[in-house]
Structure 1
């Protein structure tokens, strides 16, 4: 079948892409959590992940990373990638558990959402980025909750429409022991990335979520030099790093956070609606 050839090519390219990113990113002055994020994201997105790493994060010339990642679209790329990398772990664990115990599709999706949000928020965001909140994990949890919620809603909204409808009638697509299951989830995560990107643009633009970071060998690991900083987070900035003093006291977001929260839930609902209309929620 054609899909078998496509998957063989995909997984082969994914293995090469992950190997390239895992080796090459060691020389990129990026924070450790973002380095792991890109490796995980490439595991999900294959050659597309490697392409985005090269285009959006890889230092083109020595000493230029701060200026290179200062572009807003690269900041947002880092923000969205970080969301997908962390949330994706919980989502995939939920999908495997749901398939293993034959949960109804709606319950399965609920489990994916809960585990994805829990891991993304408490581990990948709050725990790994706690140094940006002065090392206070509780403060980091409070500061990252809203941004994680809004981003996760959009990620899942995009994923649900794809994961429930792609190869809907093929049992192999819902069996973790089959390659098609993992290919389906990779496609769904990439769709979720695309849908979550605009929300992350708003979050980064209003300093509610961090973007790319720069960590030089002479800096403490918890003191990144370049990002659109979140309010209350401590950061050492350098000239040309893409962060100005106004980031310390940003104006009130427009549209306001409650409006954008409603938008994120609307995106999530839209994903469920599309899945329901086309029969993806049956079973």
Structure 2
């Protein structure tokens, strides 16, 4: 009897397609927040640290917001939906932001590039591609354990 009950609680099979979809979702929120933060900080003439902090904060806000939107549409209350979004997205966004900002910091002159510079946009785009490549296996691992976007999946029906 216990074996039958346990059999129904296996996490979903984690496919690369599911991981890519989850990572694209994460990338969308991160990219919106990241670009907006960088544009605002750079346009206001802020230094690198406050601009980066703003970009990371906005990446989390937009990442969580995109997930929240879908969960709230499914009829879950805000408090419960927020907890689901935190559980689903925190590690994914954190990895994406760590890699994305790490690439920018290590890229020669990228931190000092201005909005009109090709280097600003090229380094940002390439850093997001690298972050996507690193975050996708993380999401696949989490989905395979019933975590991350596997938690959100039940609300997409």
Q: 1:120 aligns with which of 63, 67, 73?
A: 63
The alpha carbon displacement at 1:166 in A equals 2.0
Change (3 A) 1:170 1:106: closer
Change (3 A) 1:81 1:234: closer
Change (3 A) 1:165 1:231: closer
The alpha carbon displacement at 1:140 in A equals 1.5
**Moved >6 Å (runs of 4+):** none
Q: Which has the higher helix share?
A: 2
Distance (whole Å) between structure 2 residues aligned to residue 135 and residue 90 of structure 1: 25
Mapped pair 1:187 → 2:148: no
1:50 matched residue in structure 2: none
Change (3 A) 1:166 1:75: same
Distance (whole Å) between structure 2 residues aligned to residue 82 and residue 232 of structure 1: 12
- Which structure has the higher relative contact order (CA within 8 Å, separation 6+)? 2
The alpha carbon displacement at 1:119 in A equals 1.1
Distance (whole Å) between structure 2 residues aligned to residue 146 and residue 168 of structure 1: 36
1:72 matched residue in structure 2: 15
1:161 matched residue in structure 2: 102
Residues paired across the two proteins, number? 145
Per-residue CA deviation, residues 192-247 of structure 1 (Å, 9 max, x unaligned), is 1122123212221122233xxxxxxxxxxxxxxxxxx42793455xxxxxxxxxxx
Per-residue CA deviation, residues 19-40 of structure 1 (Å, 9 max, x unaligned), is xxxxxxxxxxxxxxxxxxxxxx
Secondary structure (helix, strand or coil) at the match of 2:107 reads coil
Distance (whole Å) between structure 1 residues aligned to residue 152 and residue 127 of structure 2: 32
Change (3 A) 1:167 1:95: same
Per-residue CA deviation, residues 237-274 of structure 1 (Å, 9 max, x unaligned), is xxxxxxxxxxxxxxxxxxxxxxxxxxxxxxxxxxxxxx
Distance (whole Å) between structure 1 residues aligned to residue 14 and residue 80 of structure 2: 28
The alpha carbon displacement at 1:170 in A equals 8.5
Mapped pair 1:97 → 2:97: no
TM-score (norm 2): 0.79
Residues 99 and 175, structure 1, Cα contact 8 Å, conserved in 2: yes
Where do 1:1-283 residues align within 5 Å? Answer: 72-121=15-64, 123-132=65-74, 134-168=75-109, 171=112, 174-210=113-149, 229-230=150-151, 233-234=154-155, 236=157
Q: Point out where structure 1 has 5 or more consecutive residues left out of the alignment.
A: 1-69, 211-228, 237-283
Distance (whole Å) between structure 2 residues aligned to residue 167 and residue 179 of structure 1: 13
Residues 73 and 201, structure 1, Cα contact 8 Å, conserved in 2: yes
Secondary structure (helix, strand or coil) at the match of 1:202 reads helix
Secondary structure (helix, strand or coil) at the match of 1:102 reads coil
